[in-house]
Amino acid sequence: MGRIGNGPVIRVGDRTTMFDPAASQFLTETARRSAISAQRCLMDSVMCEATAFAARGYRVSDLCLALGNYHNIGPGKRPAAEYVSASDFEGLVALTTEAARQWPRFDNVTDGLRKRVDRIYHSAPRKLSDE
């Protein structure tokens, strides 16, 4: 679960589905390159709309905010107002805006991990076999 005040949450999945790794990586890299504080989390207590899109074959990830007093349940299970961090919200807007700007470069942004793995593979002292 995300922590309030640590930036918007890049969800890698929910209770039902793991989201597309490249889409999550794109959002994570966009945040890093833009110096936007963000956190990656599996938010596995609920299901969100991204699951419906994933089930139909779309590449999905998700952004959300860490929420205090989820479903209006506060300390001692007493009713309390939900709340979020204003700075987390500002980060969410900044990350969404920057991701939209960077979208045409999706493949360039997400290619870094594959290239890094390829470099490690090719520099390994011995080759792995298919046996």
Label residue 19 by pLDDT band (50, 70, 90).
very high
Domain parsing of the chain, residue ranges? 9-123
List all residues 6 or more positions away from 47 whose beta carbon is below 8 Å from its beta carbon: 14, 15, 16, 17
Average pLDDT over every residue of 106-116: 86
Mean pLDDT, rounded, for 52-78: 93
Using 50, 70 and 90 to split pLDDT, how confident is the model at 117?
confident
Predicted confidence (pLDDT) at residue 70 exceeds the cutoff of 90? no
* pTM to 2 decimal places: 0.83
CA distance 52 to 57: 9
How far is residue 57's CA from residue 20's CA, in Å, rounded to a whole number? Answer: 10
